[in-house]
Amino acid sequence: MEQIQLTGPHGPKPKKTTVSRLGVYLFLFSAAVFFCIPLYVMLITSLKGMPEIRLGELFALPGDPSFAAWVKAWGEACSGVECNGIQTGFWNSVKITIPSVAISIILGSINGYALSFWRFKGSNVLFGLLLFGAFVPFQVVIFPLIIFLREVGLYGSLTGIILIHTIFGMPIMTLLFRNYFSSLPDELFKAARVDGANFWQIFFQIMMPLSIPVTVVAVILQTTGIWNDYLLGLIFAGRENLPMTVQLNNIVATTFGVREYNVNMAATILTALVPLAIYLLSGKYFVRGIAAGAVKG
Amino acid sequence: MNSISIKELDLKYQDAHVLKHLNLDIKKGEFLVLLGSSGCGKSTLLNCIAGLLDITAGQIWINDRNVTWEEPKDRGIGMVFQSYALYPQMTVEKNLSFGLKVKGMAKDEIRERVDRASKILQIEPLLHRKPSELSGGQRQRVAIGRALVRDVDVFLFDEPLSNLDAKLRADLRVEIKRLHQQLKNTMVYVTHDQVEALTLADRIAIMKDGEIQQLSTPADIYHKPCNLFVAQFIGSPSMNLLEGRVVGENFVYQDYRVNLMGYEFINQGDHDENSFLGIRPEHLALGPRDGYVKLTSAKIDILEPMGDETIVWFDFMGRKWSVKVHGDHQLKWDEDVDIYLDPKKAHLFSKQSEVRL
């Protein structure tokens, strides 16, 4: 076959760098710089020694980078009279976060499943009430909650703080899972019922395996939320179980002796490491999970 | 002997009366099609039979057992859905065996049943694939298989072919018919597609607003529609209508009269009332024929050639009329033609009650 010679525009449209595109890149770049500078300062300060910090050259790279401040922050920094570093807080936070995340997600998914498939009289009202719970400012209920926990003997205990996190996570977890399950075809549930599966069999064998994307989202939301919590931990956890955030504050705010900026920076980065790692590792799934929930099951 | 009996079934939501005093008997081994446009309650009725919806009043009997309060799994039914509703995370084999496993059936027996069903439906090579790796037709076949392994007497189909493209739909339609001839189960099939209804059904129940309008064989429904709604619903293009008056053996409109020699009135005797005359496009002709009477002359408005036949549209008495003629006819747009009608094939409906005269 003979090739026909085409004149005029043909084939794919040529891509040109336009002014508006340059503007977009410029904006993105400056936004990235804006968010990176504090992190940069923290990182280099934590690697400097105190004499170097006193020079006041905030943006200068460390002359002799060392992890001494990190080691001290982890194992020796003082908060009040104790000098065990931030590691106690880290392990406390782990002990609080893992059960709280697990329990709130399990309960939230069961709630969401029941509310979207097993509609019963008043289920919409119940859902509305639960949603309302998400908008109640929690300062309002702190005092009654303290009394309640004191009465049942859980105030200032690990169980108590886990219970509190589970309760506060319930509305948003239920909402997340209910919306996700509502996006699944109703016929799937009907088919399982005709097949003879009961409430739990449908939940565990059909719905749970389908809800992996939304579960990833839930894990991210809850882990970062609970890990970053300060107020609830301070109030309900008790002195033995203070989470990392509270202990970080105690270390940074200690007014005794010299302020060790490098240790403070290192302790702060250590505290932020867990949520940061979760975002970096699961960001892809996070976006995918939200998109999957929004469009289709 | 009845396979399914529905007695005085009522279903109400807050303000909507979806099913009204419904009575329906389905014989053993019968293929019954519930036909109607969307919102007529046909799928709702099927869900009631399956036990997936709670009813407001009435009874449902399956195999001479009152199952009104029973769970879907205890009713001895299998169901096939429009969206296939296969469990996405399970292989075809697991999809088929899930219900049996839940029931606690022995492994050998499950194997046997899955093998038998997959042989019947020719899905053996697909057993280890997941639903996402199957085509639409294959998925629907697996969905039928899931009903098949349950070894039940009653199959319920909820618009099973509506998600497929035209060619596959025709293929799978034939397969469902073959399956029915082979298994001889009772099948209740919901569709809005009249071709599916006419080709598959032993009997069709045409529904509108939660009531059954006519329950009869496809031939009866087509040739003797019991009221104006059924007449208009079945047939494509739909039946031509003419408003006028029945006087004795004649249909009178304006100054014209059509002799209805050979029309079988339901009630013999003197007729004199306002009515509609209906005639299907294939019972009109563009020229004189044996037993036909002349209706009018008209100008061709639109021609729709479909290969084997051509549909000719013209305006008559303020309505669009259509005639089906053989595809070989040489016709031109704007041409004048004479329209003849077969009075034996005409339909008369009372204008007031819309029932057949």
**Residue A287 pLDDT:** 67
Element (H, E) at A91: helix A87-117
Regarding whether B132 and B276 lie in a shared domain, the answer is no
Is B54 a member of any domain? Answer: yes
Q: Exposed, middle or buried: residue A261 (CB in 10 Å: 0-12, 13-18, 19+)?
A: middle
**Residue A4 pLDDT:** 86
Regarding whether B163 and B204 lie in a shared domain, the answer is yes
Reduced to 3 states (helix: H, G, I; strand: E, B; else coil), residue B9 is strand
CA atoms within 13 A of residue B330's CA, in its CB half-sphere: 0
Is B34 a member of any domain? Answer: yes
**Residue A293 pLDDT:** 44
Q: Taking chain A, what is the end-to-end CA distance rounded to the nearest angstrom?
A: 48
**Residue A255 pLDDT:** 65
Query: Among residues A173, A188, A170, which one has the least CA distance to residue A297?
Result: A188
Residue from the list A193, A196, A210 with its beta carbon closest to the beta carbon of B103: A196
Q: Is the pLDDT of residue B49 over 70?
A: yes
pTM: predicted TM-score of the whole model, two decimal places: 0.84
Regarding whether B289 and B223 lie in a shared domain, the answer is no
pLDDT in tens, A223-245: 999 999 999 999 999 888 999 99
List the CATH number of the domain containing B251.
2.40.50.140
Is B72 in Cβ contact with A196 (below 8 Å)? yes
pLDDT in tens, B102-148: 999 999 999 999 999 999 999 999 999 999 899 989 999 999 999 99
Point out the domain boundary residue: B180, B207, B231.
B231
Is B26 a member of any domain? Answer: yes
List the CATH number of the domain containing B193.
3.40.50.300
Is B355 a member of any domain? Answer: no
| Count of other CB atoms within 10 angstroms of residue B37 | 11
Average pLDDT (A240-262) is: 85
Point out the domain boundary residue: B210, B231, B252.
B231
Q: Is the pLDDT of residue B27 over 80?
A: yes
Q: Is the pLDDT of residue A296 over 50?
A: no
Point out the domain boundary residue: B181, B200, B231.
B231
Question: A87-295 belongs to which homologous superfamily?
Answer: MetI-like (1.10.3720.10)
Taking a contact as any Cβ pair under 8 Å apart, which residues of chain B between 122 and 151 contact chain A?
143, 146, 150
Contact of A207 with chain B, judged by CB distance below 8 Å, is answered with no
Instruction: Tell me if B226 sits within 8 A of B355, measured CB to CB.
Output: yes
Q: Is the pLDDT of residue A294 over 50?
A: no
Is B357 a member of any domain? Answer: no
- Give the pLDDT band (50/70/90) at residue A291: low
- Give the pLDDT band (50/70/90) at residue A51: confident
pLDDT in tens, B268-303: 767 778 999 999 999 999 989 988 988 889 999 999
Regarding whether B223 and B85 lie in a shared domain, the answer is yes
**Residue B110 pLDDT:** 96
Q: Is the pLDDT of residue A295 over 50?
A: no
Percent of chain A with pLDDT over 90: 52
**Residue A290 pLDDT:** 56
Average pLDDT (B205-224) is: 95
Q: Is the pLDDT of residue A192 over 60?
A: yes
Contact of A194 with chain B, judged by CB distance below 8 Å, is answered with yes
Regarding whether B217 and B305 lie in a shared domain, the answer is no
**Residue A75 pLDDT:** 87
**Residue A78 pLDDT:** 79
Average pLDDT (A113-138) is: 87
**Residue A297 pLDDT:** 34
pLDDT in tens, B171-186: 999 999 999 999 999 9
Domain limits, chain A: 19-66, 87-295
Is B82 in Cβ contact with A190 (below 8 Å)? no
Average pLDDT (B49-64) is: 94
Please report residues of A whose CB lies closer than 8 A to that of B102.
195-197, 201
Bridge pairing between strands B284-285 and B240-247: unpaired
- Give the pLDDT band (50/70/90) at residue B239: very high
Tokens, residue A53: 């910090």
**Residue B316 pLDDT:** 92
Is B52 a member of any domain? Answer: yes
| Interface pTM, i.e. ipTM | 0.86
Question: Phi/psi of residue A34, each to 5°?
Answer: -55, -45
- The residue with greater pLDDT, A198 or A14, is A198
Regarding whether B283 and B269 lie in a shared domain, the answer is yes
Regarding whether B283 and B138 lie in a shared domain, the answer is no
Regarding whether B225 and B332 lie in a shared domain, the answer is no
Is B82 in Cβ contact with A187 (below 8 Å)? yes
**Residue A203 pLDDT:** 96
- The residue with greater pLDDT, B45 or A16, is B45
Domain around B262: 232-350
Residue from the list A188, A197, A201 with its beta carbon closest to the beta carbon of B85: A188
Regarding whether B195 and B262 lie in a shared domain, the answer is no
Contact of A188 with chain B, judged by CB distance below 8 Å, is answered with yes
Q: Is the pLDDT of residue B321 over 90?
A: yes
Is B161 a member of any domain? Answer: yes
- b/e per residue, A123-162, with b = 16+ CB within 10 A? eeeebeebeebeeeeeeeeeeebbeebeeeebbbbbebbb
Regarding whether B281 and B268 lie in a shared domain, the answer is yes
Regarding whether B272 and B327 lie in a shared domain, the answer is yes
- How does the average pLDDT of chain B come out, rounded? 92
The domain total for chain B is 2
- Give the pLDDT band (50/70/90) at residue A278: confident
Is B317 a member of any domain? Answer: yes
Please report residues of A whose CB lies closer than 8 A to that of B150.
195
